[in-house]
Structure formats: structure tokens, C-alpha cells
Amino acid sequence: MKGNKILILTLIFGFLASGSILAQGSTCSDIEPFCAGSERLTFPNSNYTNSSQISGEAGPDYGCLEEQPYPAWFFLQVEDSGDLSFKISQYENEDGSGAPLDVDFVVWGPFERGEEYCSATALNAENLVDCSYLPDAVETMTISGAMANQVYVVVITNFQQLPGFISLEQTNSGGGSTDCSILDSDLGDNIVVCGENEYILDGTTDEAEIYEWYVYNESTSQYEQIPGEDGPTLTVTQSGDYRLVVKDLVGASSDQDDVTVTFYEVPEIGEVSGLSACAESTEFIDLTEASSQLIAPNSNPADYRAIFYESTDAIENNEPIIQPSSFPFQDGTTIYAKVEYIESGCLSEVEQFDLVDFNFPEYQLAETTVFCVDRNNELIAPVSLGNDLGSDYTYEWTDGTGIIGTSAVLTLNDLPSGNQLSLTLRHSASGCEKEFITMPVAISRPESVSISISGSDFGDGYTVTATAENVIGGTYAGFEYKLDNSNWQESNVFNRVPPGSHTITTREINGCGETTSDNFFLVGYPRFFTPNSDGYNDTWSLISNSDISIKRLFVFDRYGKLIRQLDPGGNKGWDGTYNGKDLPADDYWFRVEFVDQKTGGYQVYMSNFTLKR
């Protein structure tokens, strides 16, 4: 038990009758920080002139302090781990002169910064670190094994309750140290503001009593104080370098922090209609193939990158796809993406697209490709193959010996050297490819057309068969035929061909040319004539040539009466008269006897014809 206690208390109550002023840190809720640093820290003690807190508040376990007159509460934060030792002294005068005053203390800890220090559960016997209740003006406070960033709570009491000054001085020469910073948190080094017009810098600190904000002036190369900004926060609307200076008047401490704030626009993001892959052959897909489309709305694409996500939850949790270049492919999967401006880290809005199976459009090459050549096997016209499917595809043509073209349409001016042409068609976005093969075939027009004739006009009529001969590539050639100037037909057989002079023309259906036969003559007779002196079909006679030798030719009326025997060697024919008189329009008959010069056979043929008027 310390002496003079009754005398001191009597003096205290006398002073309290005249009024009281709450002292700095007189309760735990008003706790103040301190750090010893390299210099001694001196501040007024709590006494009857400046505090109404006569004794320690209820709740904490004060350990060895039987009494706690005029407490002053402090906390310290450890900067470097180690053993800490402090000299606590209390004298009448600030410079340590005058009457010595009994000082006592108690220390609790360790705590985490931000933890509730002032509760009874925190300031308990288990957390007591050091305590002294000696009747001395100088005490030693020791904290062993202090760890960096730990916090300790200290109460210093004024046993004699007289005005004076308390001094703190760290005495350990090595090991631990206390954190003299009074800023609660770091403002940051570089703050990026994306798509906003302002940003609030918050330097709120419990220990600070004065706030000063500065901005760096490029023209003067100095930080200049911002007028009127003396609060814990600063609203920034322009990019720049800013500084906060805070001051604690009680502990005469100050601190500062610098920060750079930069404003950026939010990147734009483009649309992706879908990302395709070959379902049959693709296990993984490269999502980065969509990057160029996503980044496209922004200038300088190299300054941006696309980030891909599997779900909206992944976006919220900032969990991008780690390996987008080899993402498992499944048709219908929805992928989410953002565009990031690399310099700032600012992200765009979200774009989504689906993974889809790719199917090639309708495309084919013929089994064979015809190359029209002349009789010397030289190409008579360029040949073009393929169709242009657009810029989404690439093309590679080969002839069996190497690549001969990379355009959508391949045009050849010479016969290919290989026995096949192949096209590898690739879809750029999906990586799908497909091969098409065609066999080049050289085809010429016929060198000649042979004619085969059967039948006669004196029976069921003539049948003429045309044959294309000496055709290069004839196995693959196709032909059409026409008699004289008639229409083209696929068949090479012409039935009931009328008598007279004819030709048959054959053309190759792939456009490789046409050839016309020599003239051929078919013997026969006209089925009618019109003796009206108009110069056309005015007489009737046989249609013949040297292949048939006419021996006798007779004309009869329908009753069998002989009307005229015609001169086989003449060319006048019958004019439709009998004894100089015109016969009526009617059917008439003829009888011809002839020798086929080719066969030598003697034949007789009878048939009818019509006289028209």
C-alpha cells in the first residue's frame, strides 16, 4: 500500500468542485497511439486539472494496480519483431526537472490492429504482459517476443494525482521497434479509375487531428496544397499525383502518403456470332480465336486482350478460364468474355457467345474435270474449278506433285501434270478442313463423223446412224447430234430420214468442239407436188443419184390407168397433165423398176403420192 493516499484524494475532490475537463485518452474509448521512435515522447499527464476520470473505468483486469488514479490510455503497434523495453518517467516539469511524481502502468496484449481492445474479454488477466505499482517516478516497461504488426494496450496512472509530464523512451538497443505511422491504411501507390468521373481518396485515421491534401504540379515540379481540403477524404476528378499529410497534435506526430490516380475509359467490346469447331475431330477449341472480334471496336488492338469466363458466377468471383487456347469443346456451351485494356486493367461489359458444331456448306468438285484439247493435245481454252465461299475459308490446290494454287477459283491454262487434282478447303475460324478430288480428263472433238444408212424411202424409210470417230479421251466424252439444221439430240440414230442431200453434225457435250459429216444423199420420192406454175414442186419425179439405176418409171391414176411413163434419164418429171389437160387433185400411183448399184439387185417398188391444186 502506497502512502499519502488520503491527503492526495482530499486535494483531488477540492479541485473537482470547481469544474473538470476530460483529459486526452482518459478512457479506453479515447485511446491514443504512441511510438517511442528514436526520441523521447513527452506529454501532459492526467490530473485533477484536465480530467474527470478520477479512477480506471470498470471492466478491465488492472493486474498489479490496486488503484488507477487518473489513467491515460495508449496503444502501440510493433513494426519490427523482437524484445521491447521502455522507460516511463513522470516529473513536475516537461524537461524532467522539478518534483518526481509516482508513475504506474499495466500492459495487455498482443492484439490485431482493428480488434476491439477495450472490452473486458480483451483486457483480462490472460492478456497481461507487464505491470508495475512501485512508488517510483521512473519505471521500466518490457514486452518480450513482440511480433511485427501486433498491438499492445498500455495504461499509465498518476498515483499522486498532481499535474506534471510523462515521458516515454524506448531503451532497447536492438531487436523490436514500434510503428510510428499514424495513418491507419495506405492510400495505395497507383489507383486506376475505370469509367467513372470521380474517385474518393479516404485517409481517415483515428489518431489524426489535421489533414492536408496536396496535388503535384508538373510545371513547378512540386506538391501544392489544395485549398479548403482539410478533411479525411478527397474527391478526385482528374488524373494526377496526390499527397496526404496527417498530424497528431497530442503526440506531435505526422505522417504522409502519396498516391497516383489515373482515370480511364471502359473498353468497348465487339460481338461474336459464335465460335465453330469440328465436332467429329475436335476435343478442344481455341477461344482466343474470338479475340480479334471482341477487341475490334477499340483502336490499337495490341493494347487490349480478351478474357474468357465459363459462367456469370465466374465473372463475379473473378475466375477467368486459365487456358482459353485449349478449352474443352461441347456444342452449345455459352462462353462469357470481357475486353481488358492492358495498361489500366479496366474491363469492358460482358459479351457472350456459343460454341457450335461447324458444318461445311454445300460444295463439291465433279468426279472428272474435262480439259478440251485440240488434235495435238493442246488446251484450247482455260479451265476454271471451284467456287468462292468467302473470306472465312482458305484454299489449297495440288496436282499430285505440289501446290499449284491458293485462290478460291483455280484457273489452268495448261493440262495438269498429275492424274488428279485435289482441293483442301479450310474454315479459318473452326480449323475444320475437307478434301475434294477430281480427275482431269483431256477430250477433243471427233476427227470425223461416219454415217451408216439402212432402209429406203421405198419402204419404212431411211435410218441413219452417226458415229464420232478418233476422239481423244473418248471414254469420258459425250456427244449430241443434229441432222442438217434440226435440233440437237442425244441419240446418234435418226429414223425416217427424208430423201435428199444431208449432213449430220456431232458436238462434244463439254464444249470441246463439233464436227460435221460429209454430205450423203438418200434416194426417194416426194409425197406430193403442186403443179401451179409457182416454180416450187411444180413437177413430180424420183429423188435419185448415181447409186440407183432407174430402169422404168410409170404413173397411174387411182384406178390403174397408165397416165405417163417417165424417161428415167430425164429430169422434167410429170407436170400433172394427161394429153395436155390438167388432171384433178387426187392420189396417184407410181411403179419403179431399178437396180441398186451397191448390191446389184433388181427391185420393183410401188407407192402413191398426191397431186394438190
**Residue reference for cell 410429170:** 574
Q: Is the pLDDT of residue 244 over 60?
A: yes
Strands (DSSP E) found in 8-102 = 32-33, 41-44, 72-80, 82-91
Q: Which of 136-150, 268-282, 412-426 has the lowest mean pLDDT?
A: 268-282
Which bin fits 17, alpha (ψ -120 to 50), beta or left (φ > 0)? alpha
Nearest to 280 by CA among 85, 433, 494, 475: 433
Q: Which residue did the predictor score with more confidence, 16 or 37?
A: 37
| Helix (H) or strand (E) run with residue 156 in it | strand 150-158
Task: Quote the distance between the C-alpha of residue 80 and its chain's center.
Answer: 51
Mean pLDDT throughout 2-10?
37
Point out the least confidently predicted range of 345-359, 423-437, 488-502. Answer: 423-437
Average model confidence (pLDDT) for the chain? 88
Task: Give all strands (DSSP E) within 418-547, no chain letters.
Answer: 421-427, 433-443, 448-456, 461-469, 479-483, 493-497, 500-502, 504-508, 514-516, 520-522, 528-529
Confidence of residue 558 (pLDDT cuts 50, 70, 90): very high
Please report which confidence band the pLDDT of residue 74 belongs to, taking 50, 70 and 90 as the band edges: confident
- Which span out of 172-186, 335-349, 357-371, 425-439 was modeled with the highest average pLDDT? 335-349
CB atoms within 10 A of CB 127: 19
**303/287 Cα distance (integer angstroms):** 19
Share of the chain above pLDDT 70, in %: 91
Pairing of strands 275-277, 351-357: parallel
Confidence check: pLDDT of 375 > 70: yes
Residues of the chain with pLDDT > 90, as a percent, come to 62
Q: What is the pLDDT of residue 9?
A: 30
Listed in sequence order, the residues at least 6 apart from 264 whose beta carbon sits closer than 8 Å to its beta carbon are 192, 193, 194, 195, 341, 343, 344, 346
Q: Summarize the confidence of residues 556-560 as an average pLDDT.
A: 94
Q: Which residues contact 309 (CB under 8 A, 6 or more apart)?
A: 315, 319, 320, 321, 335, 336, 337, 338
5-9, 149-153, 398-402: least confident range: 5-9
Res 92 pLDDT > 90: yes
pLDDT band at 18 (very low <50, low <70, confident <90, very high): very low
At residue 522, the pLDDT reads 85
pLDDT range class, residue 398, cuts 50, 70, 90: very high
Predicted confidence band of residue 496 (pLDDT cuts 50, 70, 90): very high
Provide the pLDDT for residue 21: 32
pLDDT digits (tens, 9 = 90+) for 20-41: 333 457 888 888 777 666 667 8
Q: Of 245-249, 317-321, 395-399, 606-610, which range is least confident?
A: 245-249
The closest alpha carbon to 293, from 407, 388, 392, 360, belongs to 392
Grid coordinates of 174? 536492438
pLDDT of 23? 47
Phi, psi of 355 (to 5 degrees): -90, 130
Confidence of residue 502 (pLDDT cuts 50, 70, 90): very high
Looking at residue 598, its pLDDT comes to 67
- In angstroms, the Cα distances linking 320 to 308, 327, 502 are 6, 12, 84
What confidence tier does 539 reach under pLDDT thresholds 50, 70, 90? very high
Band (pLDDT 50/70/90 cuts) for residue 17 is very low
Torsion of CA 168, 169, 175, 181, to 10 degrees: 60
Distances (CA, A) of 212 to 222, 255, 546: 15, 11, 131
**16 — pLDDT class (breaks 50, 70, 90):** very low
The reported pLDDT for the residue numbered 225 is 96
> CB-based contacts of 259: which residues, under 8 Å, 6+ apart?
187, 188, 189, 190, 191, 201, 241, 242, 243, 244
What's the pLDDT at 31? 82
* Strand blocks (E) in 195-314: 199-202, 210-217, 222-225, 233-236, 240-248, 253-264, 275-277, 284-285, 304-309
The torsion angles phi and psi of 295, rounded to 5 degrees, stand at -80, -20
User: Quick one: average pLDDT of 85-109?
Assistant: 94
Mean of pLDDT values over 512-541? 90
Mean pLDDT for the stretch of residues 362-379: 93
Each as own residue / partner, the long-range contacts of residues 296-302 (CB below 8 Å, 24 or more positions apart, any chain) are 296/270, 297/268, 297/269, 297/270, 298/267, 298/268, 298/339, 298/341
Mean of the pLDDT values across residues 274-287?
A: 80
- Per mean pLDDT, which range of 2-6, 21-25, 301-305, 396-400 is the poorest? 2-6
Helix (H) or strand (E) holding 291: helix 291-295
Which sign does the torsion angle of CA 76, 79, 82, 88 carry? negative
CA distance 427 to 436: 14
| Average pLDDT of the residues in 154-179 | 86
Look at residues 462, 598, 597 and name the one whose alpha carbon lies nearest to residue 524. Answer: 462
Q: What is the pLDDT of residue 384?
A: 94
Give 589-599 pLDDT, tens digit per residue.
999 888 876 67
